[in-house]
Structure 1
Amino acid sequence: MENKIFQLFAFILGALALSSCLEEDENNAIGQPSPYMSVADVRALYRGEDVQLTTDKMGGAHQVVGVVISDPASGNFPTGQVVIQNSRRRLTRGVILDFGSTTAPFVMGDSIVVNTEGATLTSINGALQIKGLSLAGVTKAKSGIEVTPRVVNLEALTTKPGDYEGTLVRIVAGNATPTPGRSAKYSGDKKLTDGNGNNIILHTDPNASFANERLWASATYTGVPLMGMDPQTQEPTITLRLRSINDVMDASGPIYLGFPESFENPSVDKPSYNMVNGDRGVWDNTIDFTTGSWKLYNSILGPTSNRDRFTGKQGIRMNQNLAAASSPYTQMNFDVPDGASKVTYIYGAYYTDASSTWWIEYSQDQGQTWTQIGPTMTEAGNWTKTATILMDISGPVRFRLFKKGLGPTSLPAIANGRFSFDDFAIYSNAD
């Protein structure tokens, strides 16, 4: 009897499950389109001509959701325009919302739902925006959302502008060119360069709250990149708009001519390094790069694009599992003349290696003695980050990156993997 009851119970459960599955399949087959479309999908609708946004063209959707990243209070964004961004399927994209002459009452961190039915997706000087919107069609869902800027270098920004336009980004060590004097102000259009031929325009409206603040030769900038026109060449370019003076960090003097050192020349296709004392010896080589002579101790030129952390074709890779007596370093064999106000470089762990421990050192006696400056760092991973070390050094100086030998990796106690770095830049301390 118990067995028959059990079989009957199992049959009922199975029938219910089958019914549920059929209901789910039927509902999925019928389909209810989402009223929302991601910013990335909206941007994809633009094919070089204006697009009227309708539910048909938006696959049944009629609303866009995003977080406000522009700041109307700064005066550095046009009246009536708001920039929003959102993320979907790991794609972060942004767009300008244009409300005409009406001042939009939204502030940074507001999450808004925008009815786009009948509005127009258009491009003005290359910047995508949705025009013909009404404030009556916008609902604020939440406020106070903190948006973390994506860190990007000028090379990536200029190579793939569509990936970053209309989103919040942070550019480490944007260098104003020509080098500004002490009386230079932000007001107007200033050119930022990375020293490798990648340039954008830093745009500041003359009426912006920070227009008359001092423009430094180099700084880290957080802002919203938008397509625009170069005022001198009238060619399309990226213009970066800051939200306030708080978007300026790590201000310093100008980058030295020839820096950042990219370690591109010589190429590893040439015999650029050798092992000392045979296969079980140490790497100990002096190599002439573009900026001058460098000593690579237990360090080599790494050319593996999917494993080493660098821009371009190659960077520096430092060896793993070495003891303290064999600690790797890469050092300048020459001085820069006018001191230093900042050093920057990009870094990461080689491939999937464990992290390591490293720091920057400087010498003012031609490399006889070395002194650590800046923090001890330990968080390299299989990604690329930018390090920025501020300083106030006067007179001739040289630098090296020193990786501490901790012995064989034995996690979690000891992490001593291979380490990669590139684009080593030094910024003058001259007035």
Structure 2
Amino acid sequence: MKKNLKIFIGIALVALFLVSCKKNENEALGTVSPIVGIGFVKALHNGDDVNLVKEKIMGATQVAGLVISDRNSGNFDDKEFVLQNTDKGTTTGLVIKLNDVNTTISYGDSVKVNIENAVLTREKGVMKIRGEGLNLAKVTKVSSNNTLKPIVLTATQLFSQFYTIESTLIQLDNVTIPNLIGGEVFGGEYRLSENLSISLFLNTSANANFSQKFVPMVASFIGVPTYYNATSDYYNTAKLLFKMPNEDAVFNQTGSVYLNFPEDFELAPASSKSQFIMPAINDKVTFKTGTWRLYQGVIGDRVNLDKFNPLGKQAIRLQEQLSEAAYLEMDFDLPNGASQLTFSYAAASPQSGTAVASSFNLEYSQDGGATWIQVGDNMNSDAVLAKEASFSLNLTGAVRFRINKLGLGLNGAVIKNGLLNIDDFKVYQNVD
């Protein structure tokens, strides 16, 4: 019995050994993947051009990924596209430079590119794969209209990580473009941070189909970080650029402030509108932004009684205890609509007694002041310290605004209809 058991165990061990040998033999005979990661390829570049022969890319012949540039926008070279892929949680990208025009590979396409015997290089600072035989026929489209999910960063993070995330899809939220005065268009370059130590620029080609669209003062952007060196191929002395794939890559946008706004009501002296009703001038006064109608209003300059900004000496004061409305009204149109509007307001103090709240609203007109539409709900000036009102708008075309102080009658236990100060009236253009 023991002899039979030993024989059985021996046979089992031999069988196990044979199975193990067969398994290793199969692994050894496994085929090499034809696709190599973009990150692996980029790591081969140490400053000199690299010939991408199979031996250098683990026997592979292709890179694969998602296209993050849009050939239809005109913002990228028509013989190039930007390709990125994600491997083990890390996203990397580079530019594929063809010898012929890209007529078929689009934003969101999944593609494979035969890079065998092509060259990994930097041109004007940008890492690219190019080659004499690298043409559109070497690109295979796998699928289209794939969802592209950008990496969300701040401008500071993008600046500090630029080298590692070159040629990947990045989203920058709530970016302020400094020094806009209004009317600037996308074509050209704009600094993407108010911090002067962050040299990062939004760059749009003159050939882009959105180059003549208005640049927003504040917006979120999706784009591709890329280098530009006008004098050499070195990236470390290149300018850091951020290129939008297309015009849909800007959102949550606020246009630049209109020229001469915010209106601080300082240009005209208080004496030019010192009475609440002045028929001789039709209650109109010209300030730096244009002519305004102050019906039942004056230019207030009383220290500690009128609430103007600390740098100013005047604010508009609308009359109290009226049974009719008092108005601060633009007598001119703004041509490019409005995306946002702000102003400061407070309960002005009378010559004697204490300040009393009042009710008012913001209105707009798009027919030259013939009819007016209220924006939002009525507001109350319930504090003697100035507050800021802010309105998000989406008005296109010519528009004008006014403050309508409600005529609620005499002050009492229920009715509050005191003096109202308005100052620092600011309107932002609509960039849609």
The residue aligned with 1:147 is: 148
Aligned-pair CA distance for 1:252: 2.0
- The change in CA–CA distance for 1:204 and 1:7 in structure 2 (over 3 A counts) is farther
The secondary structure found in structure 2 opposite 1:193 is coil
**For 2:219 and 2:106, how far apart are their aligned partners in 1?**
25
Contact kept, 8 Å, 2:188 with 2:205, in 1: the verdict is: yes
**For 1:158 and 1:219, how far apart are their aligned partners in 2?**
18
Aligned-pair CA distance for 1:226: 0.9
The secondary structure found in structure 2 opposite 1:217 is strand
- Cα deviation per residue 1:183-206 (whole Å; 9 max; x = unaligned)? 110011222115373231111111
The residue aligned with 1:42 is: 41
- The change in CA–CA distance for 1:42 and 1:368 in structure 2 (over 3 A counts) is same
The residue aligned with 1:240 is: 242
Q: Cα RMSD (Å) of the superposition?
A: 4.1
Which deviates further from its counterpart, 199-208 or 6-15? 6-15
- Cα deviation per residue 1:283-327 (whole Å; 9 max; x = unaligned)? xxxxxxxxxxxxxxxxxxxxxxxxxxxxxxxxxxxxxxxxxxxxx
Give the partner amino acid of 2:248: N
**For 1:146 and 1:7, how far apart are their aligned partners in 2?**
63
Aligned-pair CA distance for 1:235: 4.6
- Cα deviation per residue 1:312-360 (whole Å; 9 max; x = unaligned)? xxxxxxxxxxxxxxxxxxxxxxxx9779xxxxxxxxxxxxxxxxxxxxx
**For 1:150 and 1:93, how far apart are their aligned partners in 2?**
11
The secondary structure found in structure 2 opposite 1:100 is coil
- Cα deviation per residue 1:157-205 (whole Å; 9 max; x = unaligned)? 1112122211111011222232x23211001122211537323111111
1:129-168 matched pairs, under 5 angstroms: 129-132=128-131, 133-168=134-169
Contact kept, 8 Å, 1:85 with 1:167, in 2: the verdict is: yes
**For 1:198 and 1:7, how far apart are their aligned partners in 2?**
78
**For 2:117 and 2:159, how far apart are their aligned partners in 1?**
33
**For 1:230 and 1:246, how far apart are their aligned partners in 2?**
29
Give the partner amino acid of 2:123: I
The secondary structure found in structure 1 opposite 2:33 is coil
**For 1:235 and 1:364, how far apart are their aligned partners in 2?**
55
- Cα deviation per residue 1:133-155 (whole Å; 9 max; x = unaligned)? 12222211222211101101111
Query: Whose Rg is larger?
Result: 2
The residue aligned with 2:97 is: 98
**For 2:109 and 2:182, how far apart are their aligned partners in 1?**
37
TM-score by length of 1: 0.55
Identical positions, percent = 28
The residue aligned with 2:75 is: 76
- The change in CA–CA distance for 1:390 and 1:119 in structure 2 (over 3 A counts) is farther
1:86 pairs with 2:74: no
Contact kept, 8 Å, 1:175 with 1:254, in 2: the verdict is: no
The residue aligned with 1:310 is: none
**For 2:12 and 2:183, how far apart are their aligned partners in 1?**
80
Aligned-pair CA distance for 1:100: 2.7
Give the partner amino acid of 2:254: S
Contact kept, 8 Å, 1:63 with 1:113, in 2: the verdict is: yes
Aligned length in residues: 277
The residue aligned with 2:108 is: 109
- The change in CA–CA distance for 1:241 and 1:152 in structure 2 (over 3 A counts) is same
Which structure 1 residue ranges, 5 or more long, are not aligned? 256-335, 340-362, 375-388, 396-427
The secondary structure found in structure 2 opposite 1:157 is helix
Contact kept, 8 Å, 2:152 with 2:171, in 1: the verdict is: yes
Aligned-pair CA distance for 1:236: 1.5
Contact kept, 8 Å, 1:82 with 1:104, in 2: the verdict is: no
Contact kept, 8 Å, 1:338 with 1:430, in 2: the verdict is: no
**For 2:190 and 2:106, how far apart are their aligned partners in 1?**
26
The residue aligned with 2:24 is: 25
Contact kept, 8 Å, 2:215 with 2:256, in 1: the verdict is: no
**For 1:189 and 1:369, how far apart are their aligned partners in 2?**
38
TM-score by length of 2: 0.55
Give the partner amino acid of 2:74: G
The residue aligned with 1:386 is: none
1:206 pairs with 2:209: no
Which structure 2 residue ranges, 5 or more long, are not aligned? 258-341, 346-379, 396-401, 404-425
**For 1:370 and 1:338, how far apart are their aligned partners in 2?**
5
Aligned-pair CA distance for 1:102: 2.4
Contact kept, 8 Å, 1:84 with 1:96, in 2: the verdict is: yes
Give the partner amino acid of 2:247: I
Aligned-pair CA distance for 1:48: 0.4
Give the partner amino acid of 1:56: E
Aligned-pair CA distance for 1:89: 1.6
The secondary structure found in structure 1 opposite 2:39 is helix
- The change in CA–CA distance for 1:114 and 1:369 in structure 2 (over 3 A counts) is same
The secondary structure found in structure 1 opposite 2:60 is coil
The residue aligned with 1:417 is: none
1:230-309 matched pairs, under 5 angstroms: 235-252=237-254
Contact kept, 8 Å, 1:226 with 1:240, in 2: the verdict is: yes
**For 1:11 and 1:366, how far apart are their aligned partners in 2?**
96
The residue aligned with 1:305 is: none
Aligned-pair CA distance for 1:429: 5.8
The residue aligned with 2:272 is: none
Contact kept, 8 Å, 1:338 with 1:429, in 2: the verdict is: no
- The change in CA–CA distance for 1:251 and 1:57 in structure 2 (over 3 A counts) is same
Aligned-pair CA distance for 1:13: 7.7
Which deviates further from its counterpart, 169-178 or 193-202? 193-202
The secondary structure found in structure 1 opposite 2:216 is coil
- The change in CA–CA distance for 1:184 and 1:122 in structure 2 (over 3 A counts) is same
Aligned-pair CA distance for 1:39: 0.5
Aligned-pair CA distance for 1:70: 0.8
